[in-house]
Structure 1
Amino acid sequence: MQELLGLFKLGGFVLPILILAAIVALAIAGNRLWVLRRGRIAPRDLAPRVGELVDAGKVQQAVKVLYENDTPLARMMLVALQSAGQPRDVIKESVEETGRHEVAHLDRYLNFLGSIAGVAPLLGLLGTVFGIMHAFAAIGMVGAGDPKALASGIAEALITTASGLIVAIPSLMFYRYFKGRVDALVLSLEKEALKLVNQIAAGTEK
């Protein structure tokens, strides 16, 4: 514990900022891991179930199922059913508009996570610069013959550099993973919603 406190003190004013950034990045990662589960976004059995009800002419029952299933896919399919009777292009545009709102929700906090990944190494570099400045200031005061005078400045430079990379690398990995996850989920949402749009449009043309 004392060693950690010692490192914390040696890290200068940059280290607390990096620690705060790490906590925020972990919080965002935990939140997105919870939110971006497929079962919370696009349950696998929802689209086939609704499609079967629509085919059977049980539209009101399908609407009830969608109201009970509060997920992005359910909301997009609900818009499609509520637009039934209109031209296919109108239904599709309504679904796509709802989809854009859902994507914004899925992307929530990711830009901030990406910013942490980009800024953390720069904060580490800033700490490195201040550490070197302190080391040169010590040289100016006591000369280069006393290694203890240089130790704190060099330690500050090394600690902040390492801390910046420790925060940035996982943050960037999480950012890339979640971005890919969102893209895959969006494709799945669009695919299932467009199936229902085509189904509704085909029923209207009969």
Structure 2
Amino acid sequence: MFDIIKSGGWLMLPLILCSIIATAIIVERFWTLQKSKVLPQDLVTQVWRLARDKKLDDTILRRLKNSSSLGFILSAGLANSQYGRDVMKESIEEAGRQVVHELERFLNALGTIASITPLLGLLGTVVGMIQAFNAIVDQGVGDPAVLAGGISVALITTAAGLTVAIPSLIFHRYFERLVDEYVVYMEAEALKLIDILHGDREAIE
């Protein structure tokens, strides 16, 4: 493996760095975007029961805010529930934008890696071909070994770039889709709570 990396030339260093960063982002996002962490089950039901029993004090709201992404959005609305439906909805929308920003953390970096690693591989191809043609100019085409160095750089860096880019792109698209699904669900749950608190929907038991 080390010989292959060495044969790829200096462009293998940024490709290896990109692969390490991409792997770290993917692992971190899988851990952070667990459904149980973002959307705890039956949270709206629990919040409604606390609101019905007049138990939503500052301590409970603070705990709810720090519990999950959905809890952060619900707590923003509940903290402003006394100002009416419109203010409550605006507060939830503002909190939602903060949550989306947090859920999409590092995804731009992952998308950038998916975009630049094939270009780095292509650059390696160009560098390898330049080396091969220089070898031809200097020593002719009689000895195939003369061309081996340039050709190996061209092929290895291209393969390495695609090897990093393909999974990075797949996971970038997957996480973007997952965040979109979470956001739609959180909006629906927050609106459900608003309707319940203002009597526009039957309470959850």
Instruction: Give the structure 1 partner of residue 177 of structure 2.
Output: 180
Unaligned ranges ≥5, structure 1: none
Distance 2:56 2:125 in 1: 65
Contact 1:128 1:156 in 2 (8 A): yes
Alpha-carbon separation, structure 2, partners of 1:121 and 1:135:
21
| Aligned mates of 2:149, 2:179 — CA distance in 1 | 44
The answer as to whether partners of 1:50 and 1:65 remain within 8 angstroms in 2 is: no
Deviation at 1:65, TM superposition (A): 6.8
Q: CA RMSD, aligned part only?
A: 1.7
Counterpart selection for 2:60 from 50, 60, 64: 64
Which blocks of at least 5 consecutive residues in structure 2 are unaligned?
A: 201-205
CA separation in 2, counterparts of 1:52 and 1:31? 34
TM-score by length of 2: 0.92
**Hey, what's the Cα distance between the residues in 2 that align with 1:110 and 1:119?**
14
Number of aligned pairs?
Answer: 199
Task: Tell me, yes or no, if the aligned pair for 1:76 and 1:95 is still in contact at 8 Å.
Answer: yes
**Farther off after superposition, 10-19 or 25-34:** 10-19
Partners of 1:175 and 1:111 in 2: CA distance: 8
- Corresponding position of 1:50: 47
Q: What SS does the aligned partner of 1:85 have?
A: helix
Normalization by structure 1: what TM-score? Answer: 0.91
Shift of 1:178: 0.3
In the alignment, what sits opposite 2:6?
9
User: Percent of pairs identical after alignment?
Assistant: 45
- Show CA shifts across 1:128-173 (max 9, x none): 0000000000001110111000001000000001001000000000
Matched, 1:194 2:191: yes
The residue correspondences of 1:107-146 to structure 2 (distance < 5 A) are 107-146=104-143
Change beyond 3 A, Cα 1:66–1:45: farther
